[in-house]
């Protein structure tokens, strides 16, 4: 298949938008919005570096939606996605996307309290399916590569 064919480009753009909508839903703590980006029986698995088994797994839209409630413990989050690669195969696709996920939180109490940015370096390893509602995530393996703490200055 010529990857420059208009339908292939449209598919790639639609899948890229899916990835970006997921990041926006995370930053808005919109579990229902994020879950709607998955197939009805979609799966979200979270892996830590070098672990072959997921530390958490959410199956189906309802479980996926509830997973996002945990993001409300942060003052703000900002998921920045990049390096988005997709391989199309008809009505299915696979993809790998890099993400730096910033999670601003208050550390300490009283006068010692300060804001900190807990940064997660993530790789999303996805499978996608074309549905009657468009492209959806069938499975997302969130691979946590490393984390770091950064001081936050400013508002």
Q: Write out pLDDT tens, residues 9-31.
A: 999 999 999 999 999 999 999 99
- Tell me the two tokens of residue 117: 């940015």
Q: Which helix (H) or strand (E) holds 118?
A: strand 114-131
Q: Write out pLDDT tens, residues 40-60.
A: 999 999 999 888 899 999 999
Distance (Å, rounded) from C-alpha 51 to C-alpha 121? 16
Q: Write out pLDDT tens, residues 54-77.
A: 999 999 999 999 999 999 999 999
Please report the domains of the chain, with CATH numbers, ordered by start residue. 6-151 (3.10.450.50)
Cβ proximity of 37 and 18 under 8 Å:
yes
Q: Is 50 left (phi over 0), alpha (psi -120 to 50) or beta?
A: left
**Is beta strand 56-59 parallel, antiparallel or unpaired with respect to 92-107?**
unpaired
pLDDT of residue 3: 54
Q: Write out pLDDT tens, residues 109-140.
A: 999 899 999 999 999 999 999 999 999 999 99
């Amino acid at each position: 298949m010529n990857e420059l064919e208009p339908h292939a480009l449209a598919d790639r753009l639609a899948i890229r938008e899916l990835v970006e909508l997921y990041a926006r839903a995370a930053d808005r703590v919109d579990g229902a919005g994020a879950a709607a980006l998955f197939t009805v029986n979609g799966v979200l698995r979270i892996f830590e570096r070098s672990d072959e088994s997921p530390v958490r797994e959410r199956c189906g839209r309802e479980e996926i939606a509830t997973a996002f409630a945990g993001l409300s413990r942060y003052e703000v989050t900002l998921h920045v996605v990049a390096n988005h690669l997709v391989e199309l195969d008809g009505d299915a696709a696979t993809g790998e996307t890099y993400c730096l996920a910033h999670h601003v939180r208050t550390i300490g109490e009283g006068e010692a309290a300060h804001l900190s940015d807990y940064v997660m370096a993530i790789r999303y390893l996805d499978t996608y399916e074309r549905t009657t509602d468009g492209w959806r995530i069938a499975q997302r393996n969130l691979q946590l590569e490393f984390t770091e703490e950064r001081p936050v200055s400013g508002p």
